């Protein structure tokens, strides 16, 4: 997924269709000069739908299509004929997309399944024709009901990546290297902080043709929940992960302190993240011998942990086993 092509936030203007007006037609035949009312109903205005598509990974297709309008319903006709409904519009989005009303901040709907369809904005109802208003005291009503107005407004579409495992760590902790080792993903890897600027997703192959999805987000720094670094822009992607894999390099000055800082940032952003299962991987262990690992092991936090090296492959198979076990508990 190219960095410039990853879009996880768009603001679009949507408008549903107006309902068509009912007809006030009075029936006039060759041998019946004063027939009764026979005006038909107006057509329904077009709806704006949101539909899940598991082949989409980003909202880039909506980046330059900010205005989305449904069709208006047509007027009713003679002989009680109903006007045609307005054309519906369907917006296809990746799984994990949330629609939010910009004025109220209310979450309108959430797309989590392929082909799931939600009504984003309803079209106006068509007006009733004069045929509905006839009565014993009003046998020739010369009026009909207008159609309902359309709905319109600005909508925020926000993507939260759906993945089984989310990678959490400070910049340069080895998250992208691990992702490239255990999956076919090709994230940018370099020896400087914030190499990763957008989330990356990969599928981890496991035994017996099974697999699970892992997501790498840009590194977290202290104060990220307040907007520091890349801030909360990407922290929301962690909310959809089933479990969290914390990555801390073996040469870190204080592994427990780094771990506590990461946990605190997640708690400040969303306390519910602390309910997720957690695994700690000590990375870059090709640089450490058994004696150093033994010393580091004494200071690890009280969480399931493992020593790995994405370069040499040490501990990678065991890490997969641990993640699979945690995911299936």
CATH number of the domain at 17, please.
2.70.210.12
pLDDT in tens, 178-224: 888 888 655 444 443 444 456 777 888 888 888 888 888 766 655 54
Kindly list the averaged pLDDT for each block of 10 residues, start to end, along the chain of length 329: 65 96 88 83 96 89 91 94 96 92 92 94 95 88 94 92 83 81 61 52 84 78 49 67 90 89 85 89 86 86 90 90 89
Instruction: Determine if the pTM surpasses 0.85.
Output: no
Of 133, 159, 185, the domain-final residue: 159
Of 159, 178, 208, the domain-final residue: 159
pLDDT given at position 189 = 44
Query: Between the CA atoms of 299, 302, 307 and 309, what dihedral angle is there, to the nearest 10 degrees?
Result: -100
Does 154 share its domain with 178?
no
Does 196 share its domain with 240?
yes
In three-state form (DSSP H/G/I as H, E/B as E, the rest C), the secondary structure along 249-286 is ECCCCCHHHHHHHHHHHHHHHCHHHHHCEEEEEEECHH
Of 159, 186, 202, the domain-final residue: 159
Does 44 share its domain with 174?
no
CATH number of the domain at 297, please.
3.40.50.300
Which structural domain, as residue segments, surrounds residue 192? 165-327
Could you give the percent of the chain with pLDDT greater than 90? 41
Does 137 share its domain with 210?
no
Does 151 share its domain with 235?
no
């Amino acid at each position: 997924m190219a960095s410039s092509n990853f879009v996880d936030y768009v603001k679009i203007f949507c408008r549903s269709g107006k309902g068509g007006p009912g007809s006030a037609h009075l029936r006039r035949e060759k041998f019946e000069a004063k027939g009764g009312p026979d005006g038909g109903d107006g057509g329904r205005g077009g709806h704006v739908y949101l539909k899940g598509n598991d082949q989409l990974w980003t909202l880039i297709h909506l980046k330059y299509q900010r205005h989305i309008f449904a069709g208006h319903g047509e007027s009713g006709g003679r002989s009680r004929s109903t006007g045609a409904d307005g054309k519906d519009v369907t917006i296809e989005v990746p799984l994990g997309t949330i629609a939010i009303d910009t004025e109220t901040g209310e979450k309108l709907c959430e797309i989590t399944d392929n082909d799931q369809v939600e009504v984003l904005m309803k079209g106006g109802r068509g007006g009733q024709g004069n045929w509905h208003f006839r009565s014993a005291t009003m046998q020739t009503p010369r009026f009909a009901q207008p159609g309902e107005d359309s709905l319109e407004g600005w909508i925020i579409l926000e993507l939260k990546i759906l993945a089984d495992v989310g990678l959490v760590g400070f910049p340069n902790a080895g998250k992208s290297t691990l992702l490239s080792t255990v999956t076919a993903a090709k994230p940018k890897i370099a020896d400087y902080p914030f190499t990763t600027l957008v989330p990356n997703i990969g599928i981890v192959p496991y035994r017996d043709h099974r697999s699970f999805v892992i997501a790498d987000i840009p590194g977290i720094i202290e104060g990220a929940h307040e907007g520091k670094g890349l801030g909360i822009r990407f922290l929301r992607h962690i909310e959809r992960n089933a479990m969290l894999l914390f990555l801390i390099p073996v040469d870190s000055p204080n592994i427990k302190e780094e771990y506590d800082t990461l946990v605190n940032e997640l708690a400040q952003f969303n306390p519910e993240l602390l309910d997720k299962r957690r695994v700690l991987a000590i990375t870059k262990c090709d640089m450490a011998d058994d004696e150093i690992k033994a010393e580091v092991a004494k200071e690890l936090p009280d969480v399931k942990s493992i020593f790995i090296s994405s370069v040499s492959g040490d501990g990678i198979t065991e890490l997969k086993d641990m993640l699979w076990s945690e995911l299936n508990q």
